């Protein structure tokens, strides 16, 4: 703000000096007075250029700061939207992972029976916020959906791999 006032003051002074110099040259003053007025006009012109450059730089810095603030706000908003979408999915995956690790693949298959509906609700929220990570997340979700499709009976290693393959990238989104 102070910089803007300083620059504005310079521009006002420059304009005033230029007007005085112009009026002196028109009234038929001596050669030395005209030269002095011309030099003053040149100095004022240079000061005006420098002042304008300073205003331009201040505007660029201000715009950059606004852009950074907007990015930060967008990121915070995105994280706030991700949490309620991801939490039920991650909770289900962790529960199923625990069942697989405990050797109860049948319980994991039963738990993952609700994954399809949960994913259908969460995916549209996650996709735009995941950015370039979405293709990997979507591929892992498709693998989990296929592994735990109705009537499927995956082996423990395949079930565990499908769960952890999706759990990792989804958990990483929350860590951003």
pLDDT score for 81: 75
Q: Give me the pLDDT at residue 175, please.
A: 80
CB distance 144 to 162 below 8 Å = yes
> Do 84 and 139 reside in the same domain of the chain?
yes
For residue 103, what is the DSSP state?
T
Distances (CA, A) of 74 to 81, 120, 128, 171: 11, 24, 12, 20
**For residues 70 and 68, what is the distance between their CA atoms, to the nearest angstrom?**
5
Q: How many domains does the chain divide into?
A: 2
Q: What pLDDT does residue 112 have? A: 96
Rounded to a whole number of angstroms, the CA Rg of the chain reads: 34
pTM of the model: 0.57
Residue 105 lies in a domain: yes
Q: Which of 30, 45, 67 is the last residue of a domain?
A: 67
Q: What is the pLDDT of residues 127-153, one digit of tens each?
A: 999 999 999 999 999 999 999 999 999
Same structural domain for residues 53 and 140? Answer: no
pLDDT at 148: 96
Q: Are residues 17 and 47 in the same domain?
A: yes
The residue from 44, 67, 90 where one domain ends is 67
The residue segments making up the domain with residue 19 are 2-67
Q: What is the DSSP letter of 27?
A: T
Does residue 160 share a domain with residue 86?
Answer: yes
> CB within 8 A of 171, min separation 6: which ones?
90
116 and 96 within one domain: yes
Q: Is 164 part of any domain?
A: yes
**In this structure, how many other beta carbons lie within 10 angstroms of the beta carbon of residue 90?**
18
Same domain, 83 and 169: yes
Residues 61 and 111 both lie in one domain: no
pLDDT reported for residue 55? 63
Q: Which residues of the chain have pLDDT under 50?
A: 2-8, 11-12, 14-27, 29, 70-74
Is residue 88 located within the same domain as residue 166?
Answer: yes
What's CA 152's distance to the chain center, in Å? 41
Q: Are 145 and 166 in contact (CB under 8 A)?
A: no
82 and 166, same domain (yes or no): yes
Q: What is the pLDDT of residue 68?
A: 56
Helices marked H in 27-151 — which ranges? 31-101, 105-111, 115-130, 134-147
pLDDT for res 9: 52
């Amino acid at each position: 703000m102070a910089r803007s006032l300083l620059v504005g003051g310079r521009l006002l002074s420059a304009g005033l000096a230029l007007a005085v110099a112009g009026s002196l040259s028109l009234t038929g003053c001596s050669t030395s007075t005209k030269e002095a007025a011309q030099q003053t006009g040149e100095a004022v012109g240079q000061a005006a250029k420098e002042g304008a450059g300073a205003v331009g730089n201040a505007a660029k810095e201000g715009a950059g700061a606004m852009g950074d603030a907007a990015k930060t706000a967008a990121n915070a908003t995105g994280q706030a939207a991700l949490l309620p979408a991801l939490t039920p999915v991650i909770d289900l995956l962790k529960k199923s992972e625990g069942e697989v690790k405990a050797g109860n693949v049948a319980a994991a298959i039963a738990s993952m029976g609700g994954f399809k509906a949960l994913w259908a609700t969460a995916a549209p929220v996650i996709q735009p916020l995941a950015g370039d990570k979405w293709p990997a997340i979507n591929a892992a979700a498709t693998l989990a959906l296929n592994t735990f499709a109705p009537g499927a009976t995956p082996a423990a290693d395949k079930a565990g791999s499908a769960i952890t393959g999706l759990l990792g990238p989804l958990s990483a989104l929350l860590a951003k």
